[in-house]
Amino acid sequence: MSNMKKLFLAFMLSALCFTLNAQTPQEAETINKWIETYKQLEQNKAWQEMITKSGLCKQEAPSWEFVYYYLGVANYNLKDYPDAEMNFTIFIDKNKNEAAAYLLRGHSYSELKQTDKAIADYNKYLELKPDDIEALKSKANAYLIANDLNNYVIELSNILKKQPNDTVLLENRANAYAKMNNWQEAIADYTTLISINPNSFENYKNRAYAEYTLKTPESYQASVADYNKVIELGVVDVDIYNALTVLNGALKNYKAEIDAWNKLVELQPDNLDNVYRRGAAKYNDKDYKGAISDFDIVIEKQPNHINALKRRATAKTKSGDKAGAQADGKLIRELEAAKNGGATK
């Protein structure tokens, strides 16, 4: 399943917030100096330097709580999620009204797989910024990281109410449904994706597999149609032709099954099993001469292929070649006797 991409930003906070706690003009000047320093470090993605300078910043501007916010940003970008969570928590304890801190601490909890805490922070952030789609996606992603697919699907569905044609979200939800074996819902999402982009072969392929898993004659027919559409879109894929042999065989559409075997024989010329199975399909289609021809190819290269000999003997009987069938029967008895360590007449 493809994971939803998450966009993580070090949010630029207002200068008013930064200087709110300054008590004197000198202190305000010091804080403004550190505001510019951290803005520049953030712009340059100098995460380690942001951490290194934090000690001096705390000495010079002890009332400026945003140093902990930026420490959290630096820790997060360095993938030090425990320290990121710790510093965002210190900041939030001092400033409970800055939405960005809840979002970034939520990201940290999510990476630490502390889903409940991540969700709580995302919910707090969304109380302050209810229209932030990226935050809603991050909340959904927290459930995905925790492998809670049920809640992941619920959150994606809530976002899709706002963005019904978001193909990334639809694909993610369809794949989640598939992983949950909820094939009907997966098919519905793949169908929507196909209506949005009818030339995307992946959606036809995924829907075909979902239809196949339902294992009804109707779903098999639908699956065949989708796999054929994938081929029509120019995709050459051995797995697709293998699927078509199984599906058409189950539907007793032997001519279509033979067509799929023909393509597999073409794509995999050294795979003798494809020739053998094509012979079996021809036999089922009552093309006994064609079946015998394929079994001849197999037996010429593998004289001890007893199943090919048995099927050829039966095909010869059906085609009226009793002598040929008897000859194959003799070979079969000899092979079976040799296998059992005995002799035969």
CATH number for the domain harbouring residue 39 = 1.25.40.10
Q: Please, which pLDDT band fits residue 25 given cuts at 50, 70 and 90?
A: confident
Res 338: pLDDT? 87
Is residue 150 domain-shared with residue 246, that is, in the same domain?
no
pLDDT at 227 over 90: yes
Residue 299 lies inside a defined structural domain of this protein: yes
Residues 148 and 260 in one domain: no
Last residue of a domain, one of 155, 172, 194: 155
What pLDDT, on a 0 to 100 scale, did the predictor assign at position 312? 97
Confidence of residue 165 (pLDDT cuts 50, 70, 90): very high
Q: Distance between alpha carbon 17 and the CA centroid of its chain, in Å?
A: 42
Confidence of residue 3 (pLDDT cuts 50, 70, 90): very low
Among the three residues 122, 155, 188, which one is the final residue of a domain in this structure? 155
pLDDT at 4 over 60: no
pLDDT the model gives residue 343? 53
Per-position b or e across 2-37, b if 16+ CB within 10 A of its CB = eebebeeebeebeeeebbebbeeeebeebbbebbeb
* pLDDT(6) > 60: no
27 and 123 housed in the same domain: yes
Which pLDDT score is estimated for 15? 34
Distance CA 153, CA 11 (A): 28
Residue 16 lies in a domain: no
Q: What is the mean pLDDT of residues 191-206?
A: 96
Answer yes or no: do 248 and 150 share one domain.
no
pLDDT (average), residues 238-252: 98
Whether residue 147 lies inside any domain: the answer is yes
| Mean pLDDT to the nearest integer, 213-219 | 96
Q: Would you state the pLDDT for residue 5?
A: 36
Query: How many other C-beta atoms can be found within 10 angstroms of the C-beta atom of residue 228?
Result: 16
Per-residue pLDDT at 231 exceeds 90: yes
Same domain, 150 and 258: no
pLDDT band of 24, cuts 50, 70, 90: confident
pTM of the predicted model as reported, rounded to 2 decimal places: 0.81
- C-alpha 343/C-alpha 35 separation (Å) is 95
Q: Look at residue 7 and tell me whether its pLDDT is greater than 90.
A: no
**151 and 248: one domain?**
no
The verdict on residue 81 lying in a domain is: yes
Examine residue 184 and state whether it is found in any structural domain, yes or no.
Answer: no
pLDDT at 20 over 90: no
- The verdict on residue 186 lying in a domain is no
- Of the residues 127, 155, 183, which one is the last residue of a structural domain? 155
* pLDDT for the residue numbered 114: 95
The predicted pLDDT at position 157 comes to 97
* Single-letter residue type at 54: S
Give me the percent of the chain exceeding a pLDDT of 70. Answer: 92
Residues spanned by the domain of 40 = 21-155
For 106-143, the three-class secondary structure string (H helix, E strand, C coil) is: HHHHHHCCCHHHHHHHHHHHHHHCCCCHHHHHHHHHHH
Check residue 340 and give its pLDDT. 80
Residue 122 CB contacts under 8 Å (≥ 6 apart), including other chains: 102, 103, 106, 135, 138, 139, 142
Q: Considering its fold, how many domains does the chain have in total?
A: 2
In a domain, 311, yes or no: yes
Q: Please write the tens of the pLDDT for every residue from 56-78.
A: 999 999 999 999 999 999 999 99
Query: Given this model, what pLDDT does residue 342 score?
Result: 59
Residue 119 lies in a domain: yes
Place of tokens 């030090």: 80
Flag whether pLDDT at 295 surpasses 90: yes
- CA-based nearest residue to 12, from 36, 31, 30: 36
Whole-number pLDDT of residue 23: 65
pLDDT at 289 over 80: yes
| Mean pLDDT of the residues in the chain | 92
